[in-house]
Amino acid sequence: MAEGESAELGSLRDAIADLDRSLLELLRRRMELAAEVGRVKAAAGAPVVVRDAEDRVLTRARQQAEACGVSADVMEEIFHAIMRGSVERQHRVGVEARRRRGGRVLVVGGAGAMGGWLCHFLTLVGHTVEATDPAWSSIGRAEGRYGALAEVRDLDAYDFVVLAVPLARTWEVIDEVAARRPRGTLVEIASIKTHLVPALDRAGSCGVTVASLHPMFGPGKSPYEPLTFVLACRDDAAAERARIEALLAHPYTRLVAIPFAHHDRLMGWLLGLAHLSGMVFGSALARSGLDPAELQACASTTFTRQAATALSVLGEDPALYLDIQRLNPHREEVYTAARAALEELVGLVTAADLEGFRGTLADARRVLAGDA
């Protein structure tokens, strides 16, 4: 019992600790059952995630919330976490079974943040993964690890060659791989793609199959959370999707196919504007002359949320984020709209135009809520 703590309070905390140990034992048993379910599903080639089953669990949890004295949202969060753990356990125990059905993948740039994430993720999917990276050139050979693409003697051994290299260098590496005419699919994951068209065309003229994929998350993402990948299709969308689904067979993968020509315009808003707003937020504050400690001490909920989002942007690689802005041919469209939006809002505030202000916010709210 802590110093100054009443005997009654200490007794209650001891009782809670006993219950926590019981809960942990029940969770351990639940995860053991999940592992058995995972083995059965892996042997049968069945999907790990079954949405109807998850919905039934969450419905039961919400129905018992009042009896537990907590809100339905809290109870749903608790069981969401438990189910994520169950999915992870099921998926992990099935890796070996899936590997027997998986392919061989070479990740170019495997020592980088995103390259390392892909190596881990694709291994979980069940593929045999090898990788190249210049960072390994000075530390000696290891099985499945190469210091340069030239050290990989047989590219035809791989079903997929995935490029996780700096954005500005992607076209060079496409050329380097395509010159060797691999039998497998060459997968580039660049955030901006228009500048790659000449290299992609050259690869196609060499008879190389290319897929243009874009993971819509960074390397800090857990593989057991929803994972959205955008597939920018140049030709037959159905065939391209079927090819890439074989690479990304994972319970939380969400693959969205769009026309290649639409990709960079869409990313101008999804990435360019989102990054820009965070950078502008931080840069404006840096010009305020206010003490950062005071800002933190007095921060509102809105400020704290906005600051966290801005910090996530400002903490990323400046070279990458500059290239995402610089290489997007649609950036001026985004910048023009951002300037116009700011000018409109400033004008409405200056004129004390409540109806105009209300209408502008309503329009913005509809877009962000996904309304037509």
* Sheet strands (E) in 50-138: 104-108, 128-132
pLDDT band at 238 (very low <50, low <70, confident <90, very high): very high
Q: Is 235 exposed, middle or buried (0-12, 13-18, 19+ CB in 10 A)?
A: exposed
Q: What is the pLDDT of residue 95?
A: 61
Mean pLDDT value across residues 358-367: 96
Instruction: Determine, yes or no, domain membership for 289.
Output: yes
Rounded to whole angstroms, the Cα distance separating 196 from 262 reads 14
Q: What is the pLDDT of residue 44?
A: 73
Instruction: Looking at the structure, tell me whether residues 123 and 77 fall in a common domain.
Output: no
Q: What is the pLDDT of residue 117?
A: 97
Q: How far is CA 236 from the centre of its chain?
A: 25
Q: Please give the residue range of the domain that contains residue 40.
A: 18-95
Looking up tokens 């910090």, which residue turns up?
A: 311
Proportion of the chain above pLDDT 90, given as a percent: 69
What's the number of domains the chain is made of? 2
Instruction: Looking at the structure, tell me whether residues 139 and 265 fall in a common domain.
Output: yes
Instruction: Looking at the structure, tell me whether residues 228 and 91 fall in a common domain.
Output: no
Rounded to whole angstroms, the Cα distance separating 209 from 228 reads 22
Q: Among the three residues 312, 329, 346, which one is the final residue of a domain in this structure? A: 329
The structure tokens listed for 248 are 């990304």
CATH number, domain containing residue 69: 1.20.59.10
Rounded to whole angstroms, the Cα distance separating 109 from 28 reads 38
Least confident of 58-62, 118-122, 152-156, 319-323: 58-62
pLDDT greater at residue 39 or residue 334: 334
Beta bridge partners of 146: 132
pLDDT greater at residue 48 or residue 133: 133
Q: What is the pLDDT of residue 293?
A: 96
Tell me which amino acid residue 212 is: S
Distances (CA, A) of 277 to 35, 190, 339, 360: 44, 22, 11, 18
Mean pLDDT value across residues 149-159: 96
Highest mean pLDDT among 30-44, 46-60, 67-81, 154-168: 154-168
Mean pLDDT value across residues 207-217: 97
Q: What is the pLDDT of residue 312?
A: 94
Single out the residue of 203, 265, 192, 191 nearest to residue 235, CA to CA: 203
Instruction: Looking at the structure, tell me whether residues 80 and 202 fall in a common domain.
Output: no
Instruction: Looking at the structure, tell me whether residues 83 and 129 fall in a common domain.
Output: no
Instruction: Determine, yes or no, domain membership for 35.
Output: yes
Q: Among the three residues 95, 126, 159, which one is the final residue of a domain in this structure? A: 95
> What are the counts of helices (DSSP H) followed by strands (DSSP E) for the chain?
16, 8
Instruction: Determine, yes or no, domain membership for 346.
Output: no
Rounded to whole angstroms, the Cα distance separating 153 from 155 reads 7
Q: What is the pLDDT of residue 110?
A: 96
pLDDT band at 137 (very low <50, low <70, confident <90, very high): confident
Per-residue pLDDT reduced to its tens digit, 58-92: 899 889 989 999 899 999 999 988 988 888 787 77
Instruction: Looking at the structure, tell me whether residues 78 and 188 fall in a common domain.
Output: no
Instruction: Looking at the structure, tell me whether residues 156 and 302 fall in a common domain.
Output: yes
Mean pLDDT value across residues 361-372: 90
Count CB-CB contacts under 10 A for residue 54.
Answer: 15
Instruction: Determine, yes or no, domain membership for 165.
Output: yes
Instruction: Looking at the structure, tell me whether residues 171 and 84 fall in a common domain.
Output: no
Q: Among the three residues 75, 95, 115, which one is the final residue of a domain in this structure? A: 95
Mean pLDDT value across residues 124-141: 89
Instruction: Looking at the structure, tell me whether residues 188 and 277 fall in a common domain.
Output: yes
Single out the residue of 154, 141, 42, 20 nearest to residue 89, CA to CA: 42
Rounded to whole angstroms, the Cα distance separating 139 from 254 reads 37
Q: What are phi and psi of 49, to 5 degrees?
A: -90, 125
Q: What is the pLDDT of residue 39?
A: 77
Rounded to whole angstroms, the Cα distance separating 143 from 124 reads 18
Mean pLDDT value across residues 232-255: 93
Contacts of 200 (CB under 8 A, 6+ apart): 174, 188, 210, 212, 234
pLDDT band at 57 (very low <50, low <70, confident <90, very high): confident
Proportion of the chain above pLDDT 70, given as a percent: 95
Per-residue pLDDT reduced to its tens digit, 1-16: 555 568 888 889 889 9
Instruction: Determine, yes or no, domain membership for 341.
Output: no
At residue 202, does pLDDT exceed 60?
yes
Strands 128-132 and 145-146: parallel
The structure tokens listed for 134 are 């210049």
The structure tokens listed for 17 are 């600790």
Mean pLDDT value across residues 180-208: 97
Q: What is the pLDDT of residue 100?
A: 60
Mean pLDDT value across residues 213-231: 93
Instruction: Looking at the structure, tell me whether residues 134 and 107 fall in a common domain.
Output: yes
Instruction: Determine, yes or no, domain membership for 275.
Output: yes
Q: What is the pLDDT of residue 156?
A: 97
Instruction: Determine, yes or no, domain membership for 31.
Output: yes
pLDDT band at 97 (very low <50, low <70, confident <90, very high): low
Instruction: Looking at the structure, tell me whether residues 220 and 278 fall in a common domain.
Output: yes
CATH number, domain containing residue 243: 3.40.50.720
Instruction: Determine, yes or no, domain membership for 348.
Output: no
Instruction: Looking at the structure, tell me whether residues 323 and 292 fall in a common domain.
Output: yes
Mean pLDDT value across residues 169-186: 97
Q: How many CA atoms lie within 13 A of 286 on its CB side?
A: 9
Q: What is the mean pLDDT of the chain?
A: 91
